[in-house]
Structure formats: structure tokens, C-alpha cells
Chain A
Amino acid sequence: MTSPAQPPGAHLPEHPDFLWENPEPKASYDVVIVGGGGHGLATAYYLAKVHGITNVAVLEKGWLAGGNMARNTTIIRSNYLWDESSGIYEHSLKLWEGLEEDLGYPILFDQRGVLNLAHSLQDVRDSVRRVNANRLNGIDAEWVDPAGVKEICPIVNVSPDVRYPVLGATYQPRAGIAKHDYVAWGYARAAHAMGVDLIQNCEVTGLETAGGRITAVQTSRGRIAAGKVALCAAGHSSVLAKMAGIRLPLASHPLQALVSELLEPVHPTVVMSNAVHVYVSQAHKGELVMGAGIDSYNGYGQRGSFHIIEQQMSAALELFPVFARAHLLRTWAGIVDVSPDASPIVGLTPVGGLYLNCGWGTGGFKATPGVGDCFAHTIAHDKPHPFNEPFTLERFTTGALVDEHGAAAVAH
């Protein structure tokens, strides 16, 4: 028992070592990164590790990875249609494959494969085309028939008697999931160890420019001068870019997800269905993790409407009748920055020294290592990395869109 002379909890062991410190912001940095989600933290890590740029601050208005980074359903895959997308997503997947070792931190990266179901003749044609395109790009992909779907994931209902029968699926065996908050903490810890300042509760409220170049950011904790500023603000990208007079072709929408109570392992892979709008995996702990499509309206409130959850549940039950008795534990939403062609915007801006990384919408978790690496390169060299070169803001004027609605339509 604790003696009355000791404060409560004094008998407990010491607090474990913190993974990073919480420094006061300095008056100036070589690079200021706005947004402490996965992309901001990964960018800081590769700036320090690959380019030796360590006088860097990551400014986060809330807490590290409190935005979409810890709200996503953690699906990682690279089976997009176009060469441009294959480049950056496959680069990312390869980095995922060595990330745990690179960061020296567990991230529970688990290559359990992903099935993207086809429910109509058009789905089948698009899927087979995507498999062929993936293979030409050296990405693992196969077309499997309904029996093959059943073999990979026995709990999927492949009966022809349902409203939208499963006609087959694309399968990427190297796809999988990881534990998103561990990924953020791993990057944060490693960036901090190389000298990056991670500054929480620090909201950027203004961007200062002079002679067409960025000079400083105004924040809730004072003015911070900056040689370069890199925006990694996901759902808030339009608000930040506007501070520098830049309009973005983005709409910020709520995107919801949910988990069930903990269950025995029943679901060995990841299953996604664009047509019925649901995607499901089972987390290591045992909860079923499910996501849906975006809410239709623009929203910054980190919550969406309940009928979206109802639709998602009915789709899940048709595909997985075995879930009928599972209880829903909690639902939540993030704010996703949706672009017109379902591809990201990563690169330079009309303002010198100001860089843009946004538009990942419903699917940027998988890109975390890849875009962190390429965006760091873009910032360090003031020039896009070849993998993000196609993803300019100018493509909406030139017409060189990278239309990934087929591969990205449902959130993921």
C-alpha cells in the first residue's frame, strides 16, 4: 500500500522514455513543415536522413498524428492504373518493405494481400485492364475468379444470389496493412534523434512572402522565419495555400471509418469493393476495421452523417454475412482533401521556397514513406523528384491529368 506521505502513483515505475521532446520554437529554421501527420513527419525524416538538412521544424496545430494519420484504415497497396501512379505508389511500397528496419521501430507492417472485388461486367473489364497495366509496370497483380476469392478469403459471400454478386477480383499479394500510429511515432522518434524540432499546439495562421519568396510563417506561438516552407496539411491544404494567395482544385470532405469489438481472427486479407462501397480488414488486435466512401458535402468538422455508416454496414453484411452479430464499437471521421483526378498534387508553387503536398484524399497513408522521400527531395533540390514530377498543380491547366478514379474510387 502507498504510505500517506507519498503522492498517488509514486510506487509506480518511472515513465518510459519519451520518443521525442517538445521544444520551444526557434526564431528561424531552414525548413518549416506545416502539419505533423504522417507526410510531414516522413518528409522531415528524409530531409534529415537523405539530405542532411536538420535545421527543420514540424509545426502541428494539434498533436502529432492526430489528423488523418491516426484515423485511416491503414491499407497499403500499389495497384493503380497509370504509369505515373505506379511510379510513386510502388516506390512507397518498396520503402514500406524495409521501413521497420530503417526506423528501428515496430510498425506491424503485414503483407497479407488485398482483393479489389468486381461486381459488374464493367468492373471486370477495368480490373483485368488494371492487372495487365500493373504487370507491365513490374507490380504483382493477378485476376482471380470467385472461387479464387473464396480461397483467399473464405468468409466472402461469393453466391450469385446477392444484389451485387462477386464476379472476381484483382489480387495484390504484397499489399497489406500497418499500424498507423506506430508509423508516425517511428518517424517522429527518428527525425527528433537527427535534430528535427517537433512542435505541437502550434497552428500556422499566416504565410509571409517578400519579392515572390516565402520568408516566414505566423503561428499561434509567434512568428517563425523560414528559408523554405513545405505544406503537409492534408484536409486543411486549401486554407493554408490561400494564405499565400494560391487556389487549389481541392474539396475537403468528411471520410468515416469504424471498428467492431475484438473478434477471433476471421479475416486473413484486405477486401475492398468500389461498387458496394466498403472495405474491410482485421487489425492485429482483432477488431474489424471498415471504411466507406466520403460524405458528399464539404466539411471540416471531423464528423460525417450516420446514413453513410448504415449503407456501409449493409454492404459489409452482404459481402460478409458472418459479421451479422458483430457489434460496432466506434465510428469517427477525418477530413480528406479530394482532387479532381483522384491523384495528389506534389511539387513547387508560384511562390519561391513554398512547396505543396496535398490532394491525397482518401488514399495517402500508403504513400507516406514514398511521398516523404520524394517531397524531401523536391524541397532539398527545389526541383521535383522524377516520381512526383507528373503530379504538378499545372496539370489542371495543361490537361495532363492522372485519372485514378477507377483504382481509387472508394476510399482506401
Chain B
Amino acid sequence: MQLIPCPWCGPREEAEFHYGGQAHVAYPEDPSALTDEEWAQYVFFRENPSGPFAERWSHSAGCRRWFNAVRDTRSHDLLAVYRAGEPMPEVLS
């Protein structure tokens, strides 16, 4: 079981959290103006790196707040956690 450091509550067991996939994917400002190709990219295509990945987590069985993390997908090491709305910290890979 991984310990995930919630930026509000501190380290808690992974089972308290819900995964939200890639972070910083903004909803299109004018969805009806998108081409099919752009809409497909927004809906279906995400980064899937082997290495550091900025992603969303929700502390669903704790404070119930969403936050972002940079995690290395190879080692599962959490390199940084930060609150929603904060910029992604510089993280060395």
C-alpha cells in the first residue's frame, strides 16, 4: 500500500484516494468551435509517459478535495503534491 501525501491532510493510505488521470487538461473554452480531431484529442487522448507524470487525485475518503501530484510511473514515487490551482512544481526526473 502506498502512502500518498494529501496537501491538506498529510500522508494517508492509497485506499483513501481516488485517481483522476492526467492533470492540467483544461475544458475547451468554446467546445462547439472544435474540429472533430480537436474534440477527439480533448476527450480521448492523454499523455501516457513512462516517467514523471502530472496527475489528479481526490482524497475521497478523507477531506474529499482534489489535488495534483507528479509521480514517476516507473517507480510510483510521488515526486511532488500540490493543491488544485497551484502551478506544477519543477521536478527533476
**Which A residues are closer than 8 A to B by beta carbons?**
236, 238-239, 247-252, 296-301, 303, 305-307, 340, 396-399
Supposing A251-B21, A397-B36 touch, asked if A297 and B44 sit within 8 A by C-beta, the answer is no
B53 to A298, Cβ gap below 8 A? yes
A301 to B74, Cβ gap below 8 A? yes
**Which B residues are closer than 8 A to A by beta carbons?**
1-2, 14-15, 18-19, 21, 36-37, 40-41, 43-46, 48-50, 53, 55, 71, 73-76
Closest 7 CB pairs of A and B: A238-B48, A296-B19, A249-B44, A397-B40, A300-B50, A396-B44, A307-B15
What are 6 A-B contacts defined by CB distance under 8 Å?
A: A238-B48, A296-B18, A298-B21, A301-B75, A307-B14, A307-B15
A396 to B38, CA, bound (A): 11
Supposing A236-B50, A397-B37 touch, asked if A248 and B74 sit within 8 A by C-beta, the answer is no
Q: How far is the CB of A350 from chain B (nearest CB, A)?
A: 12
Given A247-B45, A252-B73, A297-B55, 18 extra CB contacts under 8 A: A239-B48, A249-B44, A249-B46, A250-B48, A252-B50, A296-B18, A296-B19, A297-B71, A297-B73, A298-B21, A298-B53, A298-B73, A299-B76, A300-B50, A300-B73, A301-B74, A301-B75, A307-B15
A114 to B86, CA, bound (A): 50
A410 to B13, CA, bound (A): 24
B49 to A398, Cβ gap below 8 A? no
Chain B residue nearest to A251 in the complex (CB): B48
List residues of chain B with CB within 8 A of the CB of A298: 21, 48, 53, 55, 73
Of the residues B45, B50, B76, contact of A249 by C-beta under 8 Å: B45
Supposing A296-B18, A298-B53, A396-B44 touch, asked if A306 and B1 sit within 8 A by C-beta, the answer is yes
A248 to B40, CA, bound (A): 11
List residues of chain B with CB within 8 A of the CB of A399: 36
Q: How far is the CB of A345 from chain B (nearest CB, A)?
A: 11
A236 to B43, CA, bound (A): 21
Of the residues B15, B18, B19, B74, contact of A300 by C-beta under 8 Å: B74
List residues of chain B with CB within 8 A of the CB of A239: 48-50
A307 to B1, Cβ gap below 8 A? yes
Q: How far is the CB of A258 from chain B (nearest CB, A)?
A: 16
Q: How far is the CB of A241 from chain B (nearest CB, A)?
A: 9
List residues of chain B with CB within 8 A of the CB of A238: 48-49
A299 to B15, CA, bound (A): 16
A297 to B48, CA, bound (A): 11
A249 to B49, CA, bound (A): 12
B46 to A251, Cβ gap below 8 A? yes
A307 to B17, CA, bound (A): 12
Interface centre among B37, B43, B50, B74, by most chain A C-beta atoms within 10 angstroms, is B50
Interface centre among B15, B49, B73, by most chain A C-beta atoms within 10 angstroms, is B73
